[in-house]
C-alpha cells in the first residue's frame, strides 16, 4: 500500500529532467504546465515578487530580468505584458538547459522583441559570469539537491543587482492530494500529472527554505506561504 511521506524531500526524478525531451510531447507538456501555473496563481506570486523588489525604483531605466528554467517562456511573456501596462522597461533573458524548450520559447515570443533566450546550464561558468538586475526562479529550485540549492542561490544573489524572486512548491500531504483532484478535472497529460506529484514531494517546507537562507547572509530574505501551496522567497540587496 502506498504510504505518502512528506517529512523529507524525495530524490525521485521527473520526466522533465530529461533535457532531450522534445517534439509534440514536450510542447504539450509545457503548455499544460503553463495552464496549471496560471490557474493556480503561480504567475501572480512571481509578479508580486518583482513588484516588491522594484518599490522605489525609477521606471525610466531598463531593468534586466533573467528567468532560469524558463521552459516555453510563459512567465516572461506574462511579466512583459504586466510591465508594459505599468510603464516599466524590461529586458528579458530566458535560460533553460533543454534546447528544444528554448526553441519553443523563441517561437512563441516573436511578438516580444524585449526577450532573448539562451540554452545554458545554470551551473556553467558561462552563466555564472552573467549579471542581471533581477533573477526569477519559478518551479525550478525543487529540481536540485539541497547542497546544489545553497550553492545556486548564493550565486544568483551575487549575479542579481537588485534581487532574486523564487517561487516554488510547498511539500505537504494536502497539496499532493488536492493536486491529484485538480488533475482529475483539469489535466489530461500523464507527464504533467506524474511530474506534478513528484514535484510536490521534491518541494519545500518553510524550515527548509529558512535553512537555505541561513547560508546566504549577504541578502535580506522574505519568505511567505502563498496559495496554492507555494512559497515566495525574495532575496533583496
Q: Are 186 and 36 in contact (CB under 8 A)?
A: yes
How many Cα atoms sit within 13 Å of 235 on the Cβ side? 30
Domain membership of residue 140 (yes or no) is yes
- Report the length, in residues, of the chain: 237
pTM listed for this prediction: 0.96
Domain membership of residue 3 (yes or no) is no
Domain membership of residue 227 (yes or no) is yes
Q: Are 109 and 117 in contact (CB under 8 A)?
A: yes
Structure confidence at residue 3 (pLDDT): 80
Domain membership of residue 80 (yes or no) is yes
Domain membership of residue 10 (yes or no) is no
Query: How many other C-beta atoms are found inside a 10 Å radius of the C-beta of residue 214?
Result: 10
Domain membership of residue 96 (yes or no) is yes
Q: Mind listing the pLDDT tens digit of every residue in the chain (237 residues)?
A: 568 999 999 999 999 999 999 999 999 999 999 999 999 999 999 999 999 999 989 999 999 999 999 999 999 999 999 999 999 999 999 999 999 999 999 999 999 999 999 999 999 999 999 999 999 999 999 999 999 999 999 999 999 999 999 999 999 999 999 999 999 999 989 999 999 999 999 999 999 999 999 999 999 999 999 999 999 999 998
Query: How many other C-beta atoms are found inside a 10 Å radius of the C-beta of residue 59?
Result: 11
Q: For the chain, what is the domain count?
A: 1
Q: Are strands 132-138 and 160-169 parallel, antiparallel or unpaired?
A: parallel
Task: Write out the residue range of the structural domain in which residue 50 sits.
Answer: 15-236
Domain membership of residue 224 (yes or no) is yes
Domain membership of residue 74 (yes or no) is yes
Domain with residue 101: its CATH number is: 3.40.50.150
Amino acid at each position: 500500500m502506498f504510504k505518502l511521506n512528506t517529512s523529507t524531500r524525495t530524490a525521485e526524478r521527473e520526466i522533465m529532467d530529461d533535457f532531450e525531451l522534445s517534439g509534440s510531447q514536450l510542447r504539450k507538456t509545457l503548455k499544460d504546465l503553463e495552464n496549471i501555473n496560471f490557474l493556480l496563481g503561480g504567475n501572480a506570486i512571481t509578479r508580486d515578487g518583482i513588484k516588491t523588489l522594484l518599490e522605489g525604483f525609477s521606471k525610466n531605466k531598463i531593468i534586466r530580468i533573467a528567468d532560469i528554467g524558463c521552459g516555453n517562456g510563459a512567465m516572461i511573456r506574462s511579466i512583459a505584458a504586466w510591465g508594459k501596462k505599468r510603464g516599466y522597461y524590461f529586458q528579458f533573458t530566458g535560460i533553460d538547459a533543454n534546447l528544444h524548450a528554448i526553441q519553443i520559447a523563441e517561437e512563441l515570443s516573436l511578438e516580444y522583441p524585449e526577450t532573448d533566450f539562451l540554452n545554458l546550464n545554470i551551473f556553467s561558468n558561462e552563466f555564472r559570469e552573467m549579471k542581471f538586475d533581477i533573477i526569477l526562479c519559478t518551479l525550478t529550485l525543487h529540481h536540485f539537491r539541497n547542497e546544489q540549492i545553497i550553492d545556486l542561490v548564493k550565486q544568483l544573489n551575487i549575479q542579481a543587482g537588485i534581487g532574486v524572486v523564487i517561487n516554488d512548491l510547498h511539500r505537504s500531504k494536502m497539496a499532493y492530494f488536492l493536486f491529484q483532484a485538480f488533475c482529475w478535472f483539469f489535466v489530461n497529460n500523464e507527464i504533467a500529472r506524474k511530474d506534478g506529484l513528484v514535484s510536490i514531494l521534491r518541494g519545500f517546507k518553510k524550515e527548509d527554505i529558512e535553512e537555505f537562507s541561513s547560508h546566504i547572509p549577504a541578502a535580506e530574505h522574505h519568505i511567505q506561504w502563498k496559495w496554492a501551496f507555494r512559497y515566495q522567497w525574495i532575496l533583496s540587496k
